[in-house]
Amino acid sequence: MNQAPCPCGTNIDYASCCGRFHLGSAVAPTAEALMRSRYSAYVLDQIDYLLATWHARTRPAVLLPNGAGLRWLGLQVITHEQQDADHATVQFVARSKLGGRAYRLKEISRFVREDERWLYLDGETS
């Protein structure tokens, strides 16, 4: 088992955190858990997982891996709000660095649950 800390910032080892979702041995129980696992998938270039957890209505046909030199630096979850049993939003800030320049992605992501699985629908960045 991988004892390295999970990229999503929970201070739990990867295998016990997002790794189990990436391997398919468990599904994310909440929209926040799915969002964290998707961030980790971006860090680890797990394109198949990202596409599989993206709602079919808004999923891109192709998703490219991280560009050369892109480093993800951290994730901060600001809020997780459950509108009802099948709809939720997660506001977060993800930090990255590319070519010596730092970036911050601030997004409010919308999630829907279908067939007992949370899926990323879309997001609004600011």
Mean residue pLDDT across the chain: 95
Measured CA to CA in angstroms, residue 35 lies from 1, 53, 105 at distances of: 23, 10, 14
CATH number for the domain formed by residue range(s) 18-125: 3.10.450.50
11-56 pLDDT, tens digit per residue, is 999 999 999 999 999 999 999 999 999 999 999 999 999 999 999 9
Tens-digit pLDDT profile for residues 51-86 = 999 999 999 999 888 877 899 999 999 999 999 999
Its pTM stands at 0.94
Q: Is the pLDDT of residue 98 over 50?
A: yes
pLDDT band, residue 91 (cuts 50/70/90):
very high
DSSP state of 61: S
Give CA–CA dist 31/74, Å, rounded: 18
Would you say the C-alpha torsion 69, 97, 66, 20 has a positive or negative sign?
Answer: positive
pLDDT at 36 (0 to 100) = 98
| Residue 69 pLDDT | 84
Distance between CA atoms of 111 and 11, rounded to whole angstroms? 24
**Strand 71-84 relative to strand 101-114, pairing:** unpaired
